[in-house]
């Protein structure tokens, strides 16, 4: 079996499962946020049960419109807070929270071998830890909160093999953008993407989280990495409960195998209005920008901020550009502060925010006006994603975003930082 099949079989109480098979699987964690939880809470009430199946396994994180941006978002957040306190759930208030997909792994709430579902499409992030994690609708989340199980179809698995060594300024964001550009936004539709190869083995955990996060942008049900020494090191001091490591079989049946030699790829940029509209940064053409965003559940981790600071140190953001830096969690914020990264950002003319999804979904903290262009380390660049339908979003890694903020146009980090 593949990695996804092994995890699902174990959670369904079966010796094996096959692609297309319908299974009931127990869940290790159920997640929702300030946008999706209110719907799930309402449906949970309609089911008629009084308590969630296990309050230690239900997590609510207000991160999209918090700190509250207006009255409506305040009401949403209060509803989530009241339910979480009533049920005794795992809950993170502003000041202790972070962007959910950065927060949960760093808090040790997701571990290898888990099945995790979340009312957010980027729940697939946790596949970086060798977990099967996927996004579902709020009504599915309500059912899981009540029963501790999900009903789903076992996905087929596509294996992606990345050979070679990462070039300068190239990381996980570039590998996944390159992949989506190759296979398209439906290239892995309802499939599990299993990432492997020497380039992946040499990739940091932060880079793996970035890749798994954007599996959904290829239409995938999940994106998974096999557990290795880097994974074990990451969870060693975070895990507060036992976990089970699964590995794909050598003779696993894959729908297909896709291989890439990444030794010569450049930093990638996804141009409007699709994550699949990807090209090397040298072919983008120096497009002038109005805003640069460095953060999100895709690239708001400490390594991402270090890379951005490396480019921005000793330089100034272009006077025409707004540069917004958003740490992915309070812990990331604090570590960046201790390392002096915040001084670099503020000194360069960037604005630093408390952890929030904010501009990624056009919520606040960086909404675009008509005709404006933004280069962003977020995960989607659909029409109107970050504000006006007449605005444009270009996706990139943190180095490209920082370099472009300095240059005032989309450029390679080599042009700014060498």
- Does the pLDDT of residue 418 top 90, yes or no? no
Closest by Cα among 250, 279, 126, 261 to 199: 261
Cα 157 to Cα 18: distance, rounded to the nearest angstrom: 10
Cα 281 to Cα 395: distance, rounded to the nearest angstrom: 11
- Does the pLDDT of residue 282 top 90, yes or no? yes
Band of the pLDDT at 285, cuts 50, 70, 90?
confident
Strand partners, 409: 288
Residue 115, φ and ψ in degrees, nearest 5: -110, 120
Residue 185 CA neighbour count, 13 Å, CB half: 12
| H or E element in which residue 118 lies | strand 115-118
Cα 214 to Cα 73: distance, rounded to the nearest angstrom: 26
Mean pLDDT score across all residues of the chain? 97
Non-local (6+) Cβ contacts of 238 within 8 A are 105, 106, 107, 108
Cα 201 to Cα 83: distance, rounded to the nearest angstrom: 41
Non-local (6+) Cβ contacts of 290 within 8 A are 320, 321, 322, 368, 372, 373, 374
Give the chain's domains with CATH numbers. 3-260 (3.30.499.10), 268-417 (3.30.499.10)
Residue 381, token pair as written in the block: 């660049």
End-to-end distance of the chain based on CA atoms, in angstroms?
A: 45
Residue pair 188/158 in contact (Cβ under 8 Å)? The answer is yes
Band of the pLDDT at 10, cuts 50, 70, 90?
very high
Cα 13 to Cα 10: distance, rounded to the nearest angstrom: 5
What is residue 267's three-state secondary structure?
coil
Non-local (6+) Cβ contacts of 416 within 8 A are 311, 315, 402, 403, 406, 407
Average pLDDT on 31-37 reads 97
Strand partners, 292: 323, 375
Per residue in 293-343, pLDDT tens?
A: 999 999 999 999 999 999 999 999 999 999 999 999 999 999 999 999 999
Whether the full predicted model's pTM is greater than 0.75, yes or no, is yes
Q: Tell me how many degrees the CA angle 369-370-371 measures, rounded to the nearest 5.
A: 110
Per-residue model confidence (pLDDT) at position 238? 97
Per residue in 81-122, pLDDT tens?
A: 999 999 999 999 999 999 999 999 999 999 999 999 999 999
Cα 79 to Cα 355: distance, rounded to the nearest angstrom: 20
Band of the pLDDT at 286, cuts 50, 70, 90?
confident
- Do the bridges between strand 22-26 and strand 149-153 make them parallel or antiparallel, or are there none, so unpaired? antiparallel
Cα 206 to Cα 8: distance, rounded to the nearest angstrom: 25
């Amino acid at each position: 079996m593949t990695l996804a099949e092994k995890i699902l079989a174990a959670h369904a109480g079966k010796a094996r499962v096959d692609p297309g098979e319908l299974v009931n699987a127990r869940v290790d964690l159920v997640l929702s946020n300030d946008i999706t939880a209110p719907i799930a809470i309402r449906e949970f009430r309609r089911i008629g049960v009084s308590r969630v199946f296990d309050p230690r396994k239900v997590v609510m994180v207000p991160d999209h419109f918090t700190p509250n941006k207006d009255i409506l978002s305040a009401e949403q957040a209060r509803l989530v807070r009241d339910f979480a306190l009533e049920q005794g759930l795992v809950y993170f208030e502003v000041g202790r929270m972070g962007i959910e997909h950065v927060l949960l792994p760093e808090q040790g709430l997701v571990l290898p071998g888990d099945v995790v579902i979340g009312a957010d499409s980027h729940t697939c992030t946790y596949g970086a830890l060798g977990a099967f994690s996927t996004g579902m609708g709020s009504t599915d989340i309500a059912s899981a909160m009540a029963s501790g199980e999900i009903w789903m179809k076992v996905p087929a698995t596509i294996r992606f093999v990345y050979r070679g060594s990462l070039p300068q300024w190239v990381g996980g964001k570039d590998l996944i953008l390159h992949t989506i550009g190759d296979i398209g936004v439906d290239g892995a539709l309802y499939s599990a993407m299993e990432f492997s190869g020497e380039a992946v083995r040499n990739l940091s955990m932060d880079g793996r989280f970035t890749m798994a996060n954007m599996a959904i942008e290829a239409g995938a049900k999940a994106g998974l990495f096999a557990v290795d020494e880097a994974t074990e090191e990451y969870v060693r001091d975070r895990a507060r409960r036992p976990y089970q490591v699964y590995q794909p079989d050598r003779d696993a049946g894959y729908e297909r195998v896709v291989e890439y030699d990444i030794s010569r790829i450049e930093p990638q940029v996804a141009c409007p209005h699709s994550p699949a509209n990807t090209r090397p940064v040298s072919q983008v053409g120096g497009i002038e920008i109005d805003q640069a965003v460095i953060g999100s559940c895709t690239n708001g981790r400490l390594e991402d901020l270090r890379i951005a600071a490396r480019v921005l140190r000793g330089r100034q953001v272009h006077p025409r550009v707004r540069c917004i830096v958003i740490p992915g969690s309070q812990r990331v914020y604090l570590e960046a502060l201790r390392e002096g990264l915040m001084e670099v950002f503020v000194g360069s003319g960037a604005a630093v925010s408390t952890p929030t999804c904010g501009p990624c979904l056009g919520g606040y903290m960086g909404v675009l006006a008509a005709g404006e262009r933004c280069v962003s380390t977020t995960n989607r660049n659909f029409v109107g994603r970050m504000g006006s339908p007449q605005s444009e979003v270009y996706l990139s890694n943190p180095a490209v975003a920082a370099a472009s903020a300095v240059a005032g146009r989309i450029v390679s980090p080599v042009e700014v930082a060498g």
